[in-house]
Amino acid sequence: MPARFHVLASGSSGNACVVEADGVGVLIDFGLSPRALAPRMKQCRLTWNRIDAVVLTHDHTDHWNATTLSHLATLRLPIYCHAEHKKAFNAQSRAFAALDAAGLFRHYEPGESIDMLGRFRCEPIELSHDGAMTCGFRFEGNGWAIGYAADLGCWTSKLARQLADVDVLALEFNHDVPMQLSSGRHPLLIRRVLGDQGHLSNEQAAGLLAEVLRASVIGRMKHLVQLHLSRECNDPQLAKSAAQAVLDRLGVALPIYTAVQGRIGPSLTIGKTTETRRRVMQPHLPFDD
């Protein structure tokens, strides 16, 4: 069966992506308001009626929005999150109370697979990032797989293996190191971003990409999506060039899509495009730039 991956927003002003497969839609993060999400969803031919569940990567406020949390409560959508993430929400709010009372907060642990309504699986993958538990995800169904990793300051061979053999790799290419160092930002913010619990530079992400490709079956990866580019300390062409250098060196040909905060996309389809839709009803310092 086909799968679709949509980037609605990616960057320090808000993050949200969608995975669709076999009639089930999963929203990855909800860092924008419902009003901001609606036109982006419409451009991807999505509506809230096509979203069946939500997964949260971590609790930084560019990844969840209080107004959207209320909207999710109204829609009675399950939110899969780590237990640490709930501490960031206002426990006195009506939205929190409604979600909690209905059992719609579903706790995950890294390495424990989440059954997405019997249609596909989602495995949380622990990432190195400051704050509460931060996870990427591996989504996998019948004949397809998507790897998603943003907001991480370093990577390991284990992470590369966890992201291997995917059709779509969505990976953070946050900053160019020289641009970061000459940005004029507060030294503490620069140190944070460059640290092992900060964000991946273009070069670090390119290194991870190379390791993932080496660990994968030749020709398996079909698309690379670059996520979470800093508007101040990166340039899309620099990010793309870093990834292209890896592809050229390894003799791999695949398209590179660079997500930009102010625009939606890419919107990718893996496999055949025919699908029957079935709706499943369910009872400071800037963080990330």
Q: Tell whether the model's pLDDT for residue 144 goes beyond 80.
A: yes
pLDDT, tens digit, 9 for 90 and up, residues 235-246? 999 999 999 999
- Select the more confidently predicted residue: 286 or 261: 261
Q: d(Cα 270, Cα 220) in Å, to the nearest integer?
A: 12
Q: Would you say 43 and 68 are in contact if contact means Cβ atoms under 8 Å apart?
A: no
pLDDT classification of 128: cutoffs 50, 70, 90: very high
For 71-86, letters b (16+ CB in 10 Å) and e give bbbeeebbbbbbeebb
Q: Tell whether the model's pLDDT for residue 10 goes beyond 50.
A: yes
Calculate mean pLDDT across residues 246-273.
91
pLDDT, tens digit, 9 for 90 and up, residues 147-169? 999 999 999 999 999 999 999 99
pLDDT value of position 280:
39
pLDDT value of position 238:
98
Calculate mean pLDDT across residues 275-285.
38
Calculate mean pLDDT across residues 17-22.
97
The model carries a pTM of 0.92
User: Mind giving me the DSSP string for 194-211?
Assistant: HSTTS--BHHHHHHHHHH
Q: d(Cα 102, Cα 105) in Å, to the nearest integer?
A: 8
Q: Is the peptide bond before 266 cis (omega within 30 degrees of 0)?
A: yes
pLDDT value of position 289:
54
pLDDT classification of 278: cutoffs 50, 70, 90: very low
pLDDT, tens digit, 9 for 90 and up, residues 75-126? 999 999 999 999 999 999 999 999 999 999 999 999 999 999 999 999 999 9
pLDDT classification of 272: cutoffs 50, 70, 90: low
pLDDT value of position 262:
83
Q: Tell whether the model's pLDDT for residue 43 goes beyond 70.
A: yes
Task: Please name each of the domains of the chain with its CATH number.
Answer: 3-270 (3.60.15.10)
Partnered with residue 149 across adjacent β-strands are 171
pLDDT value of position 231:
93
